[in-house]
């Protein structure tokens, strides 16, 4: 019986399993804590205007801790006092050129589409540097799109929890 080698390799390596000929990529290509310390401007795809949802409370937390948050949601013009954009592609070039991280609050099956938008944004502006998919979100196709487009990623990690655990910038 083939041995599963996942426990034998570092999280930075691509591994193969017997069940699939496709590589299973790590959850991140850059340390989550490093992202929080290094980058300050975050476009939040799937930001919510509902104050009871994580897609509202996490960006609000980040804003309170000194990050600039740019909401992306096609159903509203303003979220928590900030102008919202319908997609990454319609953020004005000058503003898009400041985005360090794209944080995503959309279902995992939508991550390839968001990854494609992030790659297009990078072609247009030279940014973002990282796509961060919130806790519970991960998609192998999105990882391949991001790798091919030269964008690092963090998946299945809550940005607020990571900030609280690492004592990130205030």
Tell me the pLDDT tens digit for each residue of 108-136.
Answer: 999 999 999 999 999 999 999 999 999 99
What pLDDT shows up at residue 145?
98
Within-domain flag for 13: no
Q: What is the pTM of this model?
A: 0.85
Tell me the pLDDT tens digit for each residue of 135-164.
Answer: 999 999 999 999 999 999 999 999 999 999
Within-domain flag for 11: no
**Do the strands 130-133 and 101-104 form a parallel or antiparallel pair, or are they unpaired?**
parallel
Predicted confidence band at 16 (pLDDT cuts at 50, 70, 90)? very low
Question: Could you give the number of structural domains in the chain?
Answer: 1
Mean of pLDDT over the chain: 88
What pLDDT shows up at residue 66?
95
What pLDDT shows up at residue 170?
63
Within-domain flag for 16: no
Structure tokens at 47: 């930001």
d(CA 38, CA 93): 22
d(CA 34, CA 73): 27
User: 88-114 in b/e burial notation, b at 16+ Cβ within 10 A?
Assistant: beebeeeebeebbbbbbbbebebbbbb
d(CA 1, CA 152): 35
Tell me the pLDDT tens digit for each residue of 20-63.
Answer: 345 678 999 999 999 999 999 999 999 999 999 999 999 999 99
What pLDDT shows up at residue 24?
73
d(CA 69, CA 101): 10
Domain at 80, CATH number:
3.40.50.720
Within-domain flag for 69: yes
Within-domain flag for 12: no
Q: Which domain holds residue 96?
A: 24-166
Tell me the pLDDT tens digit for each residue of 75-85.
Answer: 999 999 999 99
Within-domain flag for 19: no
- SS3 readout for the chain: CCCCCHHHCCCCCCEEECCEEEEECCCECCCHHHHHHHCCEEEEECCCCCCCCHHHHHHHHHHHCCCEEEEECCCCCEECCEECECCHHHCCHHHHCCCCEEEECCCHHHHHHHHHHHHHHHHHHCCCCEEEECCCCCCHHHHHHHHHCCCEEECCCCHHHHHHHHCCCC
- Residue 1 predicted with pLDDT over 90: no
Within-domain flag for 7: no
Within-domain flag for 4: no
- Residue 97 predicted with pLDDT over 50: yes
Q: Do 84 and 34 contact (CB within 8 A), yes or no?
A: no
What pLDDT shows up at residue 23?
64
């Amino acid at each position: 019986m083939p041995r599963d080698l996942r426990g034998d390799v570092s999280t930075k390596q691509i591994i193969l399993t017997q069940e699939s000929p496709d590589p299973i990529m790590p959850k991140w290509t850059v340390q989550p804590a490093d992202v929080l310390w290094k980058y300050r401007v975050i476009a939040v795809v799937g930001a919510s205007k509902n104050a009871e949802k994580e897609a509202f409370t996490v960006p609000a937390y980040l804003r309170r801790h000194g990050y600039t948050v740019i909401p992306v949601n096609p159903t509203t013009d303003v979220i928590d006092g900030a102008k919202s954009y319908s997609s990454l592609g319609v953020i004005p070039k000058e503003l898009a050129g400041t985005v360090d991280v794209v944080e995503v609050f959309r279902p995992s099956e939508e991550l390839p589409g968001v990854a494609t938008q992030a790659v297009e944004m990078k072609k247009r502006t030279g940014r973002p540097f990282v796509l961060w998919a919130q806790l519970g979100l991960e998609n192998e196709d999105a990882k391949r799109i991001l790798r091919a487009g030269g964008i690092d990623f963090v998946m299945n990690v809550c940005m607020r929890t990571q900030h609280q655990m690492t004592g990130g910038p205030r």
